[in-house]
Amino acid sequence: MPIKFEKKNHIAYITINNPDKANIMDRDTNNELDAAWREIWEDLDVRATILTGAGDKYFCAGHNIQVNPDVTDEEREFLRAEDVFWPLADTSNGQRLGVHGQMGDHFPRIYKPVIAAVNGWAAGAGFYTLLSTADIRIASEENARFKFALLSNGWVGGGPGATLLTRQINYADAMRILLTDEPFDAAEALRIGLVNEVVPHDQLMARAEETAELIVAKPPLATRMMKEFVIRFGDTPTDEAWRVQTLMNTLLTQLTTDGDEGRLAFQEKRKPNFTGGLRRKGEAFEELTAEQRERIDYLKRTGGAG
């Protein structure tokens, strides 16, 4: 099977499973990844995902770049030209949209945390996946290797990978990776900030699970909204982003049971039990008296609402 997919204890596990072909993304793999990401997004019991590759050599070494023998050269050239001007509905430049409509199906940006356990080569599509999908990246000290793997083939790529890279690490390091297209190891990936940490290979999955367990213990609705806020509004001017964050926070405190649970658990000196529960719509507040209005205004000005 192109991928292995399982779920347990609020964690989904995706393993790209064609190590004999360097865990590349071919059509079958893409289709199964698409289905897995959709299931992860829609399954409210899943709070985090660990993504890795089968075997000890490859995380994902790229796309299947073999041409389809059933398509003539003339048809291929025409399709590439037409996709620029007339891409199909629900696609981006002819590539299917992902679970929320911004990235390709195998490069999704879902609003649930994704941890990459980089067990081997991450090149081409594998490198893209780290940039577009993985929020936290843990690399094998012995086996992880990285290569953007586009310029060497005469390409710049059909997606936003170069832009994502220059936004996620410093410009000079990003341009060296893009323009030389040279491979680098886990230590260098850690130095430039592409990965969060490097661990011995035999501890890779255990460390990924430890990290996932920290995340799934947090309130699931607040966690997904934190990720959504960063992705949607990370480039928004501070004043506007602040306003959006305030609105999101109000939704969490007013409409979810987790909004009070963290505070109560702290006050009661116990471990919080975050369930992601929703509140029913309540009755309208009674009209305030002048004295109540004065007190509310005072609390707003002094931050007394907490």
Domains, in order of start, for the chain = 3-216 (3.90.226.10), 220-280 (1.10.12)
Q: What gap in Å lies between CA 48 and CA 113, rounded to an integer?
A: 5
Evaluate if residue 68 carries a pLDDT over 70: no
∠ CA(201), CA(37), CA(156), 5° rounding?
Answer: 75
Q: How confident is the model at residue 226 (pLDDT cuts 50, 70, 90)?
A: very high
Kindly state the helix (H) or strand (E) to which residue 49 belongs, with its residue range: strand 48-53
Percent of the chain with pLDDT over 70: 90
What pTM does this model have? 0.87
Chain position carrying tokens 């990285």 = 146
Evaluate if residue 95 carries a pLDDT over 70: no
Q: How confident is the model at residue 155 (pLDDT cuts 50, 70, 90)?
A: confident
Residue 23's φ and ψ, nearest 5 degrees, are: 55, 40
The DSSP letter of residue 285 is P
